[in-house]
Amino acid sequence: MRLRRVLLILLLVGGFWYVTVHVAGDLRSLGLLKTSGGNSPLELTEAHAAPEYDTEEQNNIAIYKRVLPSVVNITATNLTFNFFYGAVPQQGQGSGFVLDRAGHVLTNYHVVEQANRGIEVQLSNKHKYSATVVGSDRTHDLALLQINAPNLQPVTLADSTDLAVGQKVYAIGNPFGLSGTMTRGIISSIRSVRGGEGGPIEDAIQTDAAINPGNSGGPLLNSRGEVIGINTMIASNGAEQSSGIGFAIPINTAKAVLADLTRYGHVRRPSLGIQDYPIGPDLAEAMGLSADYGVLIQRVLPGGAAERAGLHGGTQQRYLGNQPIILGGDLIVAIDGQQVTDPQDINAIMDKHQAGDTVSVTVVRGREQMTVKLVLGEAKSQNT
């Protein structure tokens, strides 16, 4: 009996040894049995050559490398006072871009508006320079700065007249303080919007390229790396971050005022010198006007451009609901051959001119249509 137990034990031990040495080895060699030890080699699959970029990627990279040295970060310092009348410095950040080798930098007015303790401009090479405000245009949310720096690389400005919805665009700037950030998208729409400073932005460029706080004042670029707009604001519904709806001021708007900003420090905004009222088909029919659209001159301002050109204001006060309206004046239907249907049309035309320019104004007086030459004056108030 004892011998039988000994033989059984020997048989079990021998069987276990055979399985662990021979059978398990065969399974490991066939890859059917994994081990938890560190004896198995780690095999990685690596590329055998440098990455190849497709045509679109190559263009993205080329634009970024070419334009980045022209884009700057702007820090505006404002000294405020707390509850205990202690001085508290606050800093706001934005973007901008170099216009010329003389050191002119374009940005948004709201980026530097509160800077009562200095403005600092940082180039892409991390060098920092103190900046002064050469001129500002609150209405169009533009500010022209000056820095003294060597070897500046200016941007190339495009023509923003014939932009198309669907056109590819790029934004480079300083969102949330992350310098040198580029995003891309398309032009989503061209529309007039109310700017952050209260003035209208005619033909504003709407884009889905990610624009966030800190992008303000930076360039919006076309696929050739040329500036078509100045990034200015986002529609965020209070989230203060990109929602895919951003707006840029068309670069042609900035071109129209740069000469005034450089020479006078402000914009000598052109004006017809009138108080006006938009006319539609229903109102024109009710008033018995011979044209069913246009801008009615209610009053010509004394000494203004319209008075000097011989245009007439109204003489008969009537009420449209509870709103008074003066009838009998000239009805403006076109300026320089461009149809005028409301005051926004006039604003868009004025954005392309300067005080002192001569324009042709087509009006309907009674049943007669006439065109007169008018030398634009300088706006002194909110009148057109």
Catalytic residues: 110, 141, 216
The single-letter DSSP state of residue 157 is B
Amino acid at 152: L
Residues 243, 92: Cα–Cα separation, whole Å = 21
Q: Which residues contact 270 (CB under 8 A, 6 or more apart)?
A: 350, 353, 354, 355, 356, 357, 376, 377, 378, 379
Exposure string (b/e) for 125-161, b if CB count within 10 Å is 16 or more?
Answer: eeeebebebbbbbbbbbbbbbbbebeebebbebbebe
Burial class of residue 336 in the structure, from the number of CB atoms within 10 Å of its CB (0-12 exposed, 13-18 middle, 19+ buried): middle
C-alpha torsion sign, points 195, 197, 198, 203:
negative
Provide CB contacts within 8 A for 160, sequence distance 6+. Answer: 203, 205, 228, 229, 250, 251, 252, 253
Task: Extract the tokens encoding 263.
Answer: 């020479």
The amino acid at 282: D
> How is residue 203 written in tokens?
């033909």
Q: How far apart are CA 297 and CA 144, in angstroms?
A: 35
| Buried b or exposed e, range 22-56, using 16+ CB within 10 angstroms | eeeeeeeeeeeeeeeeeeeeeeeeeeeeeeeeeee
User: Which residue's entry shows tokens 């010509």?
Assistant: 300
Residue that the structure tokens 């006006």 belong to: 276
- What is the rounded distance in angstroms from the CA atom of residue 14 to the CA atom of residue 8? 10
Question: Which residue in 165, 159, 184 sits closest to 173, CA to CA?
Answer: 184
